[in-house]
Amino acid sequence: MKHISILAAKFFAVEIDRESQSAFMMFNGQKGHEDEPIRQAQTFIEENVTAKISIEDLASKFAIGRRNFERRFKKATNNTPVEYIQRVKIEAAKKSLETGHKNVNEVMYDVGYSDVKAFRPVFKKV
């Protein structure tokens, strides 16, 4: 029931002076493409949200050159790999803040960030 109330709140939340609801948007990944290695990379990112994942490691793991991996990833998802990793981590942080009792620093560490100065601007941007 709590899950439904959170979804309803996101849908109906309206703040004065806010021009869009994008802050309440839920990121579900963009997997409606045909590039299977990129889809596997997306799943790997989502399943390893706490890990520090480099683009080189991803490209190597899926046997694709780095530049080709980045190009294919951007074409398939409309995000660079770095943007996608950030979005996945921020979505995990949002869910944790909505449903848990941890403070921002605890959540930040849980999703793989160790520096508040790095986490806050990314959180606000996403």
pLDDT digits (tens, 9 = 90+) for 25-84: 556 677 889 999 999 999 999 999 988 899 999 999 999 999 999 999 999 999 999 999
Residue 121 domain boundaries: 37-125
**Any domain includes 98:** yes
pTM reported for the whole predicted model = 0.75
- pLDDT of 18 over the 70 cut: no
SS3 string of the chain? CHHHHHHHHHHHCCCCCCCCCHHHCCCCCCCCCCCHHHHHHHHHHHHCCCCCCCHHHHHHHCCCCHHHHHHHHHHHHCCCHHHHHHHHHHHHHHHHHHHCCCCHHHHHHHCCCCCHHHHHHHHHHC
Q: What is the pLDDT of residues 84-124, one digit of tens each?
A: 999 999 999 988 888 889 998 999 989 988 888 888 888 88
Please count the structural domains in the chain.
Answer: 1
The domain spanning residue 46 has which CATH number? 1.10.10.60
In a domain, 4, yes or no: no
Whether 66 maps to a domain, the answer reads yes
Q: Would the pLDDT of 17 be above 80?
A: no
